[in-house]
Chains A and B, each alone.
Chain A
Amino acid sequence: IAGITQAPTSQILAAGRRMTLRCTQDMRHNAMYWYRQDLGLGLRLIHYSNTAGTTGKGEVPDGYSVSRANTDDFPLTLASAVPSQTSVYFCASSDSSRGEQFFGPGTRLTVL
């Protein structure tokens, strides 16, 4: 089934631990994105990648890193998790010629 998958669905993590959220798309979209969604704040862009091999910082990049080794995968890593990173994380992709973004189902992360 075409679309975006994210893993895990949810995770409880101790502060200070390292965590990688996985995102895979099979639509051959060139651009991919990571957002976090917090109550009352809407979606905020963490990092993006316009094409494989390139990445860029969004609005709230601190504490997060990404890589884009190939077209399909765009993992998000929290090197040392802190409680303020408790959020729902969404991965998205787009074909730059069309504009609209397609979203994954989200990962609910709790950092204690």
Chain B
Amino acid sequence: SQQGEEDPQALSIQEGENATMNCSYKTSINNLQWYRQNSGRGLVHLILIRSNEREKHSGRLRVTLDTSKKSSSLLITASRAADTASYFCATSSGAGSYQLTFGKGTKLSVIP
């Protein structure tokens, strides 16, 4: 069963605007990761946030984690047409477990 659920399922914005995607999960986690998938391609890792972290930045990406609400958000600032892709959150649970459970993804369209 899916651990993470992304919201919204689809998002369409103008170039230059910020895009925010949310992820909710059900059980306790070790870390939460965000991945990007361009159409027809494999997933690419974007950022990992550990359960004891609340916020992390990487370039134009900002991820927050609220373990009390079992939720995370991914913010892409100053979006570009090249950011058009599907974005997935994935959670890692259990000590010693390397497995990830993925959500169904948010499809982001950035209009030039």
Name A's B-contacting residues (CB within 8 A). Answer: 4, 31, 33, 35, 40-45, 48, 50, 58-59, 90, 92, 94, 96, 99-106
Surface stretch bound by A, among B11-19, B36-44, B59-67, B69-77? B36-44
| Chain B 68-111 interface mask (CB, 8 Å, partner A; 1/0) | 00000000000000000000100010000011111111000000
24 pairs, A vs B, C-beta closer than 8 Å: A4-B42, A31-B98, A35-B102, A42-B2, A42-B102, A42-B105, A43-B88, A44-B102, A45-B99, A45-B100, A48-B99, A58-B99, A94-B98, A99-B48, A99-B92, A99-B98, A100-B48, A101-B43, A101-B100, A103-B35, A103-B42, A103-B43, A105-B42, A106-B42
| B33 interface contact, C-beta 8 A | yes
Name B's A-contacting residues (CB within 8 A). Answer: 1-2, 31, 33, 35, 40-45, 48, 88, 92, 98-105
